[in-house]
């Protein structure tokens, strides 16, 4: 063999592995089982499929195709997918109801439109009342202003983890996008970025969402709910609040963004809620909404925007034995139990975290495992590690917490902190600066500087809890401390304003006179 021929053979041997005939790992091109004789157009699946509104015997499968197609769901208790349900009416949005499903079972399914098939996914039907099941709560995945057309990477991570959890259902406590604008095309882009990720969970479990302050076009001057309703398949649409039962638990979703009543659960919605909570026969009740009753960073702009209404809502929860309330809005994790009602803020779904005196600054989702005798709550951070673990019934001593300003906060003298107990105490004592115990809480002492507040609470088994906070008094009057009396302060702006109005009036009269 000549030296030249040897070079040619070496070159051919080097090239061959990169040629197509040697690319044995290359996946085959998708084979579409297209029926050439069909009059239907070829269309690809551009959203879903997702499983929705699952009960112990039914489910709704949703998907969207690029153009109008037929629709079939193949499903079954194993990967053979022996059963099917179809709709021959051509459409782009496909909703196929599956009925007569077996209780507490895993089903596999695949959708098909004009011969184009989806992957095979699985979901669980609801178990019998009282049987164990798992839910996940996640909130505030939204991007920031500069990234409005995509989603935070953390949300991708958390969604992947949640899908692997295979929960029975997932609750989203809102703020899905940066904003809803007047530009329809921009809204489609922003919401597609969200649904692309949310649907990766929705393949396997029904998603239930409520609306957040970023999701309905508050900045456009009109409420635009069409994108929210497109993202979720919900009960009672177009109502933005709803309830449903699942495996012995009553779930109620609320709308904290009612137009003109932001941060308030009032009017018709409150009346509906009162009836909803009073009439359910289930003793486990989960309520969820976007804004918390006891915020840690959005103080005075959550459901505490109207404190009387906030307190009325809490009283309703206590009287109707609500088990837990889930929210977001504050970008952190927080748990606070008030008189037996556990409040979770699960706002770490991907948005930038918000500093607050209570901490909880980590991205997370909340896993809730329910059984007849116990409920386990655990927050899972983005690395898959459990952070806060809590169980009901809570047989521990009373937990004590403070709002609306946290430990080591500074407030004007006299300011009264709100103290909350996880259960109604038999006895409580308060003591400022280690002085004698008082049965009523008074405000921050007047002496400027650091003060200690000791709080003691006794539960119905005679077990005492104690916590100490350090709070700083600032001067009561901080504006213009050289002024002799505060009564004189309002006079200054009134006189200045009066003089200014007079000068402007003289100028206007002068100009008008010259023009005439
Ligand atoms: Fe929010």
Least confident stretch, 31-35, 227-231, 451-455: 31-35
**How close is the Cα of 238 to the center of ligand 1, in Å?**
21
Rounded distance between C-alpha atoms, residue 444 and residue 402, angstroms: 13
Q: Average the pLDDT over each of 38-52, 139-153, 298-312 and give the range with the smallest value.
A: 38-52
State the pLDDT confidence band at 487, using cuts at 50, 70 and 90.
very low
Q: How many C-beta atoms surround the C-beta of residue 149 within 10 A?
A: 13
Residue 301 CA to ligand 1 center (angstroms) comes to 10
| 420 has pLDDT over 80 | yes
- pLDDT of 320 reads 98
Task: Give the E-state strand segments of 195-315 in sequence order.
Answer: 207-209, 242-246, 249-253, 284-288
Query: How does residue 507 score in pLDDT terms, banded at 50, 70 and 90?
Result: low
Would you place residue 2 in the very low, low, confident or very high pLDDT band (cuts 50, 70, 90)?
A: very low
CA of 51 to the centre of ligand 1 (A): 27
Please state the rounded mean pLDDT for residues 445-471.
Answer: 97
Cβ-based neighbour number of residue 38 at 10 Å: 11
Ligand 1 geometric centre to CA of 352 (Å)? 12
Ligand 1 centroid distance, CA of 395 (Å):
33
Give the distance (Å) from ligand 1 centre to CA of residue 142.
Answer: 9
Which tokens in the block code for residue 91? 């459409």
Whole-number pLDDT of residue 220: 86
Query: Which among 285, 290, 261 has a CA at the least distance from the CA of 274?
Result: 285
Tokens 């918390």 belong to which residue?
292
Q: What residues flank ion ligand 1 with Cβ within 5 A?
A: 175, 212-213, 329
133-392 to CATH, choices 3.30.1490.20, 3.40.50.620, 1.20.1250.20, 3.60.21.10: 3.60.21.10
Q: What is the mean pLDDT of the chain?
A: 88
Tell me whether residue 272 is exposed, middle or buried, using C-beta atoms within 10 angstroms of its C-beta: 0 to 12, 13 to 18, 19 or more: middle
Supply the pLDDT for residue 465. 98
Indicate if the pLDDT at residue 15 is higher than 60: no
**Separation of CA 227 and ligand 1 centre (Å):** 17
- Averaged over 242-259, what is the pLDDT? 97
- In the chain, residues under CATH classification 2.60.40.1220 are 400-474
The pLDDT of residue 29 is above 70: no
Name which residue leads in pLDDT, 236 or 7: 236
CB 323 within 8 A of CB 306: no
Kindly tell me if the per-residue pLDDT of 443 is higher than 80.
Answer: yes
At 338 the pLDDT is 98
- How many CB atoms are located within 10 Å of the residue 325 CB? 26
Q: What is the pLDDT of residues 49-87, one digit of tens each?
A: 999 999 999 999 999 999 999 999 999 999 899 999 999
pLDDT at 221: 87
CA of 255 to the centre of ligand 1 (A): 12
Q: How far is CA 135 from CA 89, 109, 177, 277, in A?
A: 35, 21, 23, 20
Q: How far is the CA of 263 from the centre of ligand 1 (A)?
A: 10
Q: How far apart are CA 41 and CA 53, in angstroms?
A: 30
Q: What is the 287 CA–ligand 1 centroid distance (Å)?
A: 17
Q: What is the pLDDT of residue 22?
A: 25
39 vs 55: CA distance, rounded Å: 37
Query: What distance in angstroms lies between residue 290's CA and the mean position of ligand 1's atoms?
Result: 7
pLDDT in tens, 98-116: 999 999 999 999 999 998 9
| pLDDT band at residue 26 under the 50/70/90 scheme | very low
Query: With 90 as the cut, is the pLDDT of residue 215 above it?
Result: yes
- pLDDT tier at 508 (50, 70, 90 boundaries)? low
Q: How confident is the model at residue 460 (pLDDT cuts 50, 70, 90)?
A: very high
Q: Where in the chain is the domain with CATH 3.60.21.10?
A: 133-392
Average pLDDT over residues 377-389: 98
Percent of the chain with pLDDT over 70: 84
Tokens 């782009």 -> residue: 92
**31 by DSSP, 3-state: which?**
coil
Contacts for 500 with CB less than 8 Å, ≥ 6 apart: none
Pairing of strands 427-432, 242-246: unpaired
SS (H, E, C) 420-442: EECCCCCEEEEEECCCCCECCCC
485: Cβ contacts below 8 Å, ≥ 6 apart: none
Closest CA to 273 of 252, 294, 290, 250: 252
* CATH number of the domain located at residue range(s) 400-474 in this protein: 2.60.40.1220
Identify the pLDDT of residue 23. 26
> Any long-range contacts for 157-161 (C-beta under 8 Å, 24+ apart)?
157/382, 158/349, 158/350, 158/363, 158/364, 158/365, 158/382, 159/197, 159/198, 159/200, 159/201, 160/200, 161/365, 161/380, 161/382, 161/384
Give me the pLDDT at residue 218, please.
79
CA of 245 to the centre of ligand 1 (A): 26
User: Averaged over 275-302, what is the pLDDT?
Assistant: 97
Stated pTM of the model = 0.84
CA–centroid distance, 176 to ligand 1, in Å, is: 9
pLDDT tens, residue by residue, 318-350: 999 999 999 999 999 999 999 999 999 999 999
Three-state SS at 406: coil
pLDDT of 387 over the 80 cut: yes
Question: Quick one: tokens of 77?
Answer: 């208790």
Quote the ligand 1 centre to 243 CA distance (angstroms). 21
Query: Where would I find the beta strands (DSSP E) of 165-316?
Result: 169-172, 207-209, 242-246, 249-253, 284-288
């Amino acid at each position: 063999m000549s030296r030249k021929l040897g070079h040619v053979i070496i070159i051919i041997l080097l090239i061959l592995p990169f040629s197509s005939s040697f690319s044995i790992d290359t996946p085959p091109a998708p084979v579409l089982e297209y029926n050439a004789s069909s009059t239907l157009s070829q269309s690809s699946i551009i959203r879903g499929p997702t499983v929705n509104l699952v009960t112990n015997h039914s489910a709704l499968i949703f998907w969207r195709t690029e153009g109008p197609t037929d629709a079939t769901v193949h499903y079954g208790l194993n990967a053979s997918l022996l059963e099917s349900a179809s709709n021959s009416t051509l459409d782009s949005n496909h909703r196929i109801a599956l009925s007569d499903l077996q209780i507490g079972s895993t089903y596999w399914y695949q959708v098909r439109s004009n011969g184009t098939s989806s992957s095979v996914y699985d979901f669980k039907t609801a178990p019998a009342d009282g049987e164990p099941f798992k839910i996940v709560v996640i909130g505030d995945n939204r991007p920031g202003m500069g990234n409005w057309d995509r989603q935070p990477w953390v949300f991708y991570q958390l969604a992947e983890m949640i899908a692997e959890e295979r929960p029975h259902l997932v609750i989203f406590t809102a703020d899905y996008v940066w904003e809803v604008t007047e530009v329809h095309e921009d809204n489609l882009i922003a919401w597609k970025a969200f649904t692309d990720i949310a649907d990766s969970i929705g393949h396997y479990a029904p998603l239930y969402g409520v609306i957040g302050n970023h999701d309905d076009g508050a900045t456009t001057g009109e409420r635009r709910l069409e994108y929210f309703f497109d993202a979720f398949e919900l009960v009672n649409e177009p109502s933005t609040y709803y309830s449903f039962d699942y495996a012995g638990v009553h779930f109620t979703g609320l709308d904290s963004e009612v137009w003109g009543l932001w941060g308030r659960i009032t009017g018709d919605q409150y009346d509906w809620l009162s009836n909803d909570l009073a009439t359910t026969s289930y003793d486990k009740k989960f309520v969820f909404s976007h804004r918390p009753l006891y915020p840690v960073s959005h103080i005075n702009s959550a459901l505490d925007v109207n404190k009387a209404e906030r307190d009325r809502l809490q009283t309703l929860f206590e009287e109707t034995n609500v088990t837990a309330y889930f929210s977001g809005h504050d970008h952190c994790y927080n748990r606070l139990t008030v008189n037996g009602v556990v409040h979770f803020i699960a706002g770490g779904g991907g948005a930038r975290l918000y500093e607050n005196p209570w901490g909880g600054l980590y991205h997370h989702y909340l896993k809730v495992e329910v059984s007849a005798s116990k409920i386990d709550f655990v927050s899972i951070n983005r690395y898959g590690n459990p952070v806060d673990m809590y169980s009901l019934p809570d047989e521990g001593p009373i937990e004590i917490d403070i709002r609306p300003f946290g430990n080591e906060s500074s407030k004007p003298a006299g300011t009264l902190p709100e103290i909350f107990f996880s259960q109604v105490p038999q006895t409580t004592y308060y003591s400022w600066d280690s002085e004698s115990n008082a049965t009523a809480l008074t405000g921050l002492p007047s002496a400027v500087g650091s003060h200690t507040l000791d709080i003691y609470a006794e539960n119905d088994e005679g077990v005492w809890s104690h916590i100490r906070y350090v709070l700083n008094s600032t001067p009561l009057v901080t504006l213009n401390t050289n002024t002799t009396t505060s009564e004189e302060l309002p006079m200054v702006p009134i006189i200045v304003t009066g003089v200014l109005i007079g000068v402007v009036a003289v100028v206007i009269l002068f100009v008008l006179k010259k023009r005439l």
